[in-house]
Amino acid sequence: MTVRNDILLAGLIGRGIARSRTPEMHMAEAFAQGLRGVYRIVDVDTLPEEDQNLKAIVHAAETTGFNGLNVTYPFKMEVIPLLDELSPNAAAVGSVNTIVFRDGRRIGHNTDLWGFAESFRRNMDGAALDKVLLIGAGGAGVAVAHALADCGVAHLTIFDLDAARADQLARQVRDNRPGLTVGTTAALDETVTQGLTGIVNASPVGMAKTPGSPFPLGLLRPGIWVADIVYFPLETELLAGARKLGCRVLPGSGMAVFQAVRAFELFTGRPADPLRMKAAFDAFDQTPRETADA
């Protein structure tokens, strides 16, 4: 079976994702291109405990004719053993956010890396890249770390509540991006802010499901730019605190849109229009809730 380019049948697997804007972006783009589009949310938190089985969910999507699946927190690494093949970028970062079902095989891709990098390049031109703090070394963090390297960051410091995971990501990035100086920190305190030019949150802290700020707001200062990959809510506590100080900020909407642009092309074999997908993203809050998750 080849990629079906006359229909979009896809879905998103994750936890706490009922308000995801991904379905609207994909279905609006499918409609604009004259395709039939169905995109389903599979919020594992809403399923009965006996149905919260990632392997079974992926199998069901494949056998019912899905083009593919998007994968989000917390399954971007957990899904890898269920796949037959990884694209070069997914293999390099060890994280998958897009699965394509093709010719009886499950192929894992990572569109987060390009999505964050493209958003950063388009919206943060001229941002100081001397020393950046990355919070979160999970499935999204590994992609963002590599994207920051590709955007020209000189020194990257990684923090994760799991110190071993932060150390592992630091080693991985050093191997894959040898031009980047990478270190870790065990705590978010005043010492980590010395010389700091930017902060990126790639942890789930700030999501509606896990509210709060992953970085102490009292340690922010106006000269530091702040980016967040969380987009529901779009204005996280971290970004709101940074705006109050006059910091330059980058919300998670850009990464969300551009990773979807690349995923749509993988699902359908057709290029997507970023402006159309961004318009669908922005219109989300005007979409009636009873149809937004259809």
**Domain residue ranges of the chain, discontinuous segments joined by +:** 7-111+254-292, 125-247
Q: If you average pLDDT over every residue of the chain, what do you get? A: 93
Considering the candidates 55, 76, 131, 209, report the single residue annotated as catalytic: 76
Query: Predicted confidence band at 208 (pLDDT cuts at 50, 70, 90)?
Result: confident
- In 3D space, the residue among 66, 76, 77, 138 whose CA is nearest the CA of residue 106 turns out to be 66
Query: 40-54, 79-93, 272-286 — which is least confidently predicted?
Result: 272-286
When pLDDT is averaged across residues 28-56 and rounded to a whole number, the result is 94
Asked if 244 is an active-site residue, the reply is: no
The Cα 9–Cα 199 span in angstroms is: 36
pLDDT at 7: 87
Domains 7-111+254-292 and 125-247 share a fold: yes
pLDDT at 5: 59
What digits encode the pLDDT tens for the residues 76-134? 999 999 999 999 999 999 999 999 999 999 999 999 999 999 999 999 999 999 999 99
For 182, list phi and psi in degrees, rounded to 5: -125, 135
When pLDDT is averaged across residues 184-201 and rounded to a whole number, the result is 97
- In 3D space, the residue among 80, 180, 76, 66 whose CA is nearest the CA of residue 132 turns out to be 180
- CB burial string 55-87: b at 16+ within 10 A, e below: eebbeebbeeebbbbbbbbebbeebbebbeebb
Q: Does domain 125-247 have CATH number 3.40.50.720?
A: yes
The Cα 193–Cα 86 span in angstroms is: 37
Q: How many CB atoms lie within 10 A of CB 40?
A: 15
- In 3D space, the residue among 173, 170, 201 whose CA is nearest the CA of residue 188 turns out to be 201
pTM of this structure: 0.90
Query: Predicted confidence band at 290 (pLDDT cuts at 50, 70, 90)?
Result: very low
The class level of CATH for 7-111+254-292 reads: alpha beta
pLDDT at 285: 62
